[in-house]
Chains A and B, each alone.
Chain A
Amino acid sequence: SAVISQKPSRDICQRGTSLTIQCQVDSQVTMMFWYRQQPGQSLTLIATANQGSEATYESGFVIDKFPISRPNLTFSTLTVSNMSPEDSSIYLCSVSRGYGNEQFFGPGTRLTVL
């Protein structure tokens, strides 16, 4: 298994500002992902965080809006830029030790944009 922490756990932000969410894992992992869970909805993959290279974004998500960093095998950040109320969601980090292995999820960051 893996123990994953996210900071902050929740935040209330003003429209037009940016928030950076941190994801820390207690051991090195191959894969790290960022998901969004809008209110009452399922999880949607935003991007795969690649160590040492640019993240791989899913359709509908762009780097300018959701810049991601992954400087090493245990840490990643997701920034939600120029926020609007539509960005109010839970953002979850997940990790995996490789294809076919289960993903472990962090506790999530609950973001509210006013």
Chain B
Amino acid sequence: AQSVTQLGSHVSVSEGALVLLRCNYSSSVPPYLFWYVQYPNQGLQLLLKYTSAATLVKGINGFEAEFKKSETSFHLTKPSAHMSDAAEYFCAAMNYGGSQGNLIFGKGTKLSVKP
């Protein structure tokens, strides 16, 4: 069965520092991959998606992610953290089994940004 693993339930960075949120997937077939952000008391907003085109994907708010098949990873990065980036981030893989197209989510990583 497919699964998504996010290393680190909580990441803390200083404002202006690099943000790195880790995501690994387990699948014999590289799936479609997504990063979502959830601000407190809000729904999920799509940051970016990988759908087997370019391996480096640029998203909104200065975030990007690189798909590495050899490492089965899809880590999210941002060169310089901003206070407004504090939120919870979810990595998700699209389920190719059963043809339903639903998403399998990682447990999430809460990002804190210190002034």
Binds A, one of B14-22, B63-71, B96-104: B96-104
Nearest A-chain residue to B90, judged by Cβ = A42
Nearest CB of A to B3, in Å: 12
The interface size of chain A toward B, counting residues with CB under 8 Å, comes to 24
Q: For chain B, give the interface size range.
A: 20 to 34
Chain A neighbourhood of B100, CB < 8 A: 31, 48, 56
> How many residue pairs between the two chains, A and B, have CB atoms under 8 Å in the bound complex?
55
Using CB atoms and an 8 Å cutoff, list the residues of chain A in contact with chain B. 31, 33, 41-45, 48, 56, 92, 94, 96, 98-108, 110
CB-based contact A100/B103 at 8 Å: no
Question: Taking A41-B107, A42-B106, A106-B43 as contacts, is the C-beta distance between A100 and B34 under 8 angstroms?
Answer: no
Nearest CB of A to B23, in Å: 12
